[in-house]
Amino acid sequence: MKWTEVKVTTASEAVEAIANIMMEAGASGVAIEDALDVTNFVSDKFGEILDDEDFDHIKEGAIVMAYFPETTFLPEILPTIKQKVNQLPEFGLAIGANLVEIHEVAETDWATAWKKYYHPVSISRYLTIVPNWVDYQAKNEDEKILKLDPGMAFGTGTHPTTMVSLHALEIVLRGGETVLDVGTGSGVLSIASKHLGAKEVYAYDLDDVAVTAAQENVDLNPIAGDVQVSANDLLTGVEIQADVIVANILAEIILRLIPDAWRLVKPGGKLIVSGIIEDKKAEVLEALVAIGFEITEILQQADWFGIILTKPASDQK
């Protein structure tokens, strides 16, 4: 498959905002090259020493590369992307050279390009995500290692929406639960659920690339060996009653998921939704509350919100 790469040369402080703009515009993945990563990585807490000479990396500023399926009609979405990026200085973010380039790339190029920038990510005391090609030892007996090769699928653990979802899972899981992971991407939330004590986990994604990646990652983590991965549109046709449903998907898609989530969460069970920006928060909350969910906790990282909801134990609906 061929992809269209939209490459924005910018300033380090704008990378996250631009990555978010790209994902909202429908990018399937985003890679970032940031000169600051070199500085940060040299003093990395995992103790790896970087030889700047051998490191093919930009020396200042940053580049955000977003990958759209070649079927995306870019002339339609590019003006909005440029407009949103141009507005960032109004929010106090410098955008540097603000150069936008477009290239066609083969799948294999961007599937592997980001690997050199991907390091272990410490999510919490209990969870660390480690790239499969990195040798890493747990620092204490509580630390669970989640091995991951996200490949083309979303979910390296570094994106705020994934982190919020992982923190929410840590808050709600006690052990023994049935979990449905909707939009599993790399499978990161399913594998984490097993590490956090879930008994049964079912992972769904619409994208075949994600289904394959999730299955491969499940296979990398013996504890997650019994996670059931399958292709599915949200929870359509699913009949498994769950203690916890987690979905890290954009707000527009979460709105579609709500009726099935309500149908499948057991009374007293939890729904975790993540991937929500400020502009969409009220609309999503309103729809969730209207169907009967109670808001338990709202988490935020960067500009992204995650919501933990409870289906009341006495279900009158």
**Binding test (CB under 6 A) with ligand SAM, winner from 151, 160, 269, 275:** 275
Contact flag: residue 20 with ligand SAM (CB under 6 A): no
Residue pointed to by tokens 């940031």:
34
Site for ligand SAM in 180-209 (CB under 6 A): 183-185, 188-189, 204-207
Q: Which is nearer to ligand SAM, 177 or 205 (CB)?
A: 205
Tell me if residue 231 falls in helix, strand or coil. Answer: strand
Contact flag: residue 155 with ligand SAM (CB under 6 A): yes
Nearest distance from C-beta of residue 241 to ligand SAM, angstroms: 19
- Non-local (6+) Cβ contacts of 117 within 8 A are 31, 32, 33, 37
Contact flag: residue 165 with ligand SAM (CB under 6 A): yes
What are the counts of helices (DSSP H) followed by strands (DSSP E) for the chain?
A: 9, 14
Q: How many residues in total does the chain contain?
A: 317
What is the C-alpha to C-alpha distance for residues 270 and 259, in angstroms, rounded to an integer? 14
Q: Which is nearer to ligand SAM, 253 or 255 (CB)?
A: 253
Contact flag: residue 253 with ligand SAM (CB under 6 A): yes
What is the C-alpha to C-alpha distance for residues 32 and 122, in angstroms, rounded to an integer? 19
- What are the contacts of 46-50 at 24+ separation with CB within 8 A? 46/119, 46/120, 46/136, 48/119
Binding residues for S-adenosyl-L-methionine: 162, 183, 205, 248
Residue numbers in the known binding site are: 162, 183, 205, 248
What is the contact surface with ligand SAM in residues (CB under 6 A)?
153-155, 161-162, 165, 183-185, 188-189, 204-207, 210, 233-234, 248-249, 253, 275
